């Protein structure tokens, strides 16, 4: 997982609250057998509307999503985070996230940064009056900046540390590889193995 220290990119105002994971990526896109390529399912229903924000330049190339409160509710599908990342988003700003979404995001390297709703409103205005404005999200300082706008954001310390270090769950566990090795040495000798195939 790529470390996340600071990111600057085009801000996308998504003036909607309660964006659930079915809206982020509908179930029909879940049948894929790869771990990548979910960008085509991102906001699939809305993207069929030409007025949808991601169908307009310069938002199309956005990487900082500024959304209404209660983002990521509904089914726990991890694909919602994958779809946002695959599209190119590095961070989502919102006044409130669903717990499971926030957890999944942290695991997959997407920063879910929590701002005051009043700050979200200010950002929306800025991004709408000056489309293409770049937003800088600084995880070390825990601040969001765009032009004259500056605001703090909240993220829990554990997730922040993991993102700064670029550690996914597996990376974290593998820091303890030596302890795992040691544990394996001491396992009971009667425990089964699947290979070679017994009785074959």
Partner 1 sequence: MAKTLAEKVWDRHVVRRGSGAEPDLLYIDLHLVHEVTSPQAFDGLRLAGRPVRRPDLTIATEDHNVPTVGIDLPIADPVSRTQVETLRRNCAEFGVRLHPMGDAEQGIVHVVGPQLGLTQPGMTVVCGDSHTSTHGAFGALAFGIGTSEVEHVMATQTLPLRPFKTMAVTITGELRPGVTAKDVILAVIARIGTGGGQGYVLEYRGPAIEKLSMEARMTVCNMSIEAGARAGMIAPDETTFAYLKGRPHAPAGELWDNAVADWRGLRTDDGAVFDAEVVLDADELTPFVTWGTNPGQGLPLSATVPDPERIADENERVAAEKALSYMDLVPGTPLREISVDTVFLGSCTNGRIEDLRAAAAVIAGRQVADGVRMLVVPGSMRVKAQAEAEGLHEVFLAAGAEWRQAGCSMCLGMNPDQLAPGERSASTSNRNFEGRQGKGGRTHLVSPLVAAATAVRGTLSSPEDLVTASAGGTNTAASAQN
Helices (H) and strands (E) in the chain, counts: 8, 7
Binding to partner 1 by residue 2, rule CB under 8 A? no
Interface pick for partner 1 out of 48, 148, 185, 198 (rule CB under 8 A): 198
Q: Which stretch binds partner 1 (CB under 8 A): 62-70, 131-139, 159-167, 183-191?
A: 183-191
Cβ-count burial of 38 within 10 angstroms (0-12 exposed, 13-18 middle, 19+ buried)?
A: buried
**Residue closer to partner 1, measured from CB, 118 or 183:** 183
User: Can residue 35 be called a binding residue for partner 1 (CB under 8 A)?
Assistant: yes
Region label for 79, one of left (φ > 0), alpha (ψ between -120 and 50) or beta (otherwise): alpha
d(CA 122, CA 95): 13
CB-nearer residue toward partner 1: 38 or 59: 38
User: Which range touches partner 1 (CB under 8 A), out of 2-10, 12-20, 89-97, 184-192?
Assistant: 184-192
State in angstroms the smallest separation of the CB of 28 from partner 1. Answer: 10
User: What span, in angstroms and rounded, lies between the C-alpha atoms of 141 and 127?
Assistant: 22
Would you tell me the crossing angle of helices 79-87 and 99-108 to the nearest 10 degrees? 50
Continuous H helices in the chain? 21-24, 44-47, 79-87, 99-108, 117-129, 157-165, 169-174, 177-185
- The single residue listed with the structure tokens 């209660």 is 70
Q: Using CA atoms, how far apart are residues 36 and 72, in angstroms rounded to an integer?
A: 19
In the region spanning residues 60 to 79, those forming contacts with partner 1, defined by CB under 8 A, are 78
DSSP annotation of 7 reads E
- Taking the complex as a whole, the smallest distance from the CB of residue 31 to partner 1 amounts, in Å, to 5
Q: Taking contact as CB under 8 A, which single stretch among the options 54-62, 65-73, 91-99, 171-179 is the one that binds partner 1?
A: 171-179
# chain residues binding partner 1, by CB under 8 A = 32
Question: Binding of partner 1 at residue 118 (CB under 8 A)?
Answer: no
* One of 107, 109, 123, 126 touching partner 1 (CB under 8 A): 107
**Chain positions contacting partner 1, by CB under 8 A:** 31, 33-36, 78, 107, 158, 168-170, 172-174, 176-177, 179-180, 183-184, 187-195, 197-199
């Amino acid at each position: 997982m790529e470390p996340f220290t600071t990111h600057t990119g085009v801000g996308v105002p998504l003036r909607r609250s309660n964006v659930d994971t079915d809206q982020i990526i509908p179930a029909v896109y879940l049948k894929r057998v790869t771990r990548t390529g979910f960008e085509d399912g991102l906001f699939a229903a809305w993207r069929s509307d030409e007025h949808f924000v991601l169908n307009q330049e310069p938002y199309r190339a956005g990487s900082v999503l500024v959304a209404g409160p209660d983002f990521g509710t509904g089914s726990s599908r991890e694909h919602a985070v994958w779809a946002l990342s695959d599209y190119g988003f590095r961070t989502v700003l919102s006044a409130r996230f669903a717990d499971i979404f926030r957890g999944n995001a942290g695991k997959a390297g997407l920063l879910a940064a929590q701002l005051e709703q009043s700050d979200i409103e200010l950002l929306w205005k800025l991004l709408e009056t000056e489309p293409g404005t770049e937003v800088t999200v600084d995880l070390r300082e825990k601040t969001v900046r765009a032009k004259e706008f500056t605001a703090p954001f909240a993220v829990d310390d554990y997730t922040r540390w993991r993102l700064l270090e670029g550690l996914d769950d597996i990376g974290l566990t593998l820091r303890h590889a030596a302890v795992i090795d040691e544990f394996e040495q001491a396992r009971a000798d009667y425990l089964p193995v699947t290979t070679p195939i017994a009785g074959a």
